[in-house]
Structure 1
Amino acid sequence: MVHPVAVAGFLVAILPLIATPGASLALLVQHVTGGGRRRALPVVLGTVTGLYVHAALAIAGLSALVMHSSVAFTVIKLVGAVYLIGLGLWTWRSATPREAAPARRRPRGTDSVYAQAFLANVLNPKAAAIYLTLVPQFVTPAHPLSGQILTLATAHALLITLWLTAWSFLLARASHLLHTPRFKRAATRATSAILITLGIRAAVT
């Protein structure tokens, strides 16, 4: 069992990382803007699932293998970068106005939103690095690591859930803007720009 002080220290350490705009927040803005606050749920669930995947890999030692193999790490990083850039380009294309045929526009399925958020997190090597660089600082080797890592991952999941939920409420408060075509296009293109920038940054760093 992780000491409460260690959990609190871990949350303080990762808070700046969570607060830094990333793919999860970009996807949240895009989907809440397009479909309302309920669209935040699959984004949150996909992101949280990705965190548990990284935690499981850390427990199994697979993440350590990737981080210590420059080739494997580079492959994972490039795959994640390509995914983010591709998602950003697709998002930009989806911002093309189609006012002439509004009936043909369908809300994106929940499964698709969940998959986007999940892949954006799983394919981010920096998310894996949290469990390889920060987590070891807050666990006790004398106790089983699996339970400690899962406890920290759960605390991480709760914090990012609160963060994304707070953003979804803020976006919902601006509902009078969210339903204007101009704002939707601007938000979608801003989201795509963020995703492309994150992808390029992941590829070159």
Structure 2
Amino acid sequence: MSLYAVAGFLAAVLPLVATPGASLTLLVQRVTTRGRREGLPVVLGTASGLYVHAALAALGLSALVMRSSQAFAAVRLAGAAYLLVLGISAWRGAGSGPGGRTAPGRAARARRSTYAQALLGNVLNPKAASIYLTLAPQFIDPGRPAVRQIVILATAHAAVITLWLATWTFILGRATRAAASRRFKAVVGRISAAVLVALALRTAAA
């Protein structure tokens, strides 16, 4: 696969990466309420979700979902329901975060939970799947192994989204330290929850 094809793919997905969505909203909620370290599991979960979509596209399973209106609707509604659950959970947890240092075991469980939430939020997003079914094929050389090229594109995509989310993690970490009051964290948490609920409703109505 040529570098021009990879660059063209990245140019096409960059506006999608920069568009605020569930991953960025979850990142904002976690970093502002739990600290900068919570950004890492969100980044890893989101990147892992891209590889899941790439693998499904390579196996042809995503194509079956996209072509079946019933399967597509099921995935879309499952994604909407999951975002709604995340939004409600974030709203209930706003303002009730730990007021000191978190025990190592509890912190590790929280990071694993955040990773799983970011992963599922990406996997259950039909729009993310469509990238590897409608956009990626335009940059694949039919004369070379398709699976390898899909992996290359997914890796480039993951690198870009990792850089994007890592940049926001740094910015949010600095801003949170500048306004580290419980009230500030509660407000940000509720705003993030409202955005997640709005994304859920939009996904369900799409």
Contact 1:177 1:183 survives alignment (8 Å)? no
| Partner of residue 202, structure 2 | 201
Q: Which amino acid aligns with 2:45?
A: G
Q: Deviations over 1:174-205 (max 9, x none)?
A: 13345211110111111111111111111111
SS at match of 2:20: coil
Name the count of aligned residue pairs. 202
Provide TM-score, normalisation by structure 2: 0.93
Per-residue deviation, 1:11: 0.5
| Partner of residue 71, structure 1 | 70
SS at match of 1:140: coil
Q: Which amino acid aligns with 1:69?
A: S
Contact 1:45 1:114 survives alignment (8 Å)? yes
Q: Which amino acid aligns with 1:22?
A: G
Per-residue deviation, 1:102: 4.8
Give ranges in structure 1 of 5+ residues lacking alignment.
none
Per-residue deviation, 1:35: 2.1
Cα separation, 2, equivalents of 1:113 and 1:29: 12
1:40-55 paired onto structure 2 within 5 Å: 40-55=39-54
Change (3 A) 1:177 1:123: same
| Partner of residue 158, structure 1 | 159
Contact 2:95 2:185 survives alignment (8 Å)? no
* Root mean square deviation, CA, Å: 1.8
| Partner of residue 143, structure 1 | 144
| Partner of residue 25, structure 2 | 26
Contact 2:23 2:46 survives alignment (8 Å)? yes
Per-residue deviation, 1:12: 0.7
| Partner of residue 85, structure 2 | 86
Q: Give the ranges of 4+ consecutive aligned residues of structure 1 lying more than 4 Å apart after TM superposition.
A: 105-108
Give ranges in structure 2 of 5+ residues lacking alignment.
none
| Partner of residue 191, structure 1 | 192
SS at match of 1:174: helix
Per-residue deviation, 1:38: 1.3
Provide TM-score, normalisation by structure 1: 0.93
Per-residue deviation, 1:135: 0.3
Per-residue deviation, 1:37: 1.4
Cα separation, 1, equivalents of 2:36 and 2:99: 21
Q: Which amino acid aligns with 1:80?
A: G
Change (3 A) 1:178 1:39: farther
Cα separation, 2, equivalents of 1:143 and 1:203: 38
Cα separation, 2, equivalents of 1:187 and 1:178: 11
Q: Could you tell me the percent identity over the aligned residues?
A: 58
Contact 1:43 1:113 survives alignment (8 Å)? yes
Question: Is residue 132 of structure 2 the alignment partner of residue 131 of structure 1?
Answer: yes
Change (3 A) 1:102 1:36: closer
Cα separation, 1, equivalents of 2:156 and 2:147: 14
Cα separation, 2, equivalents of 1:172 and 1:102: 17
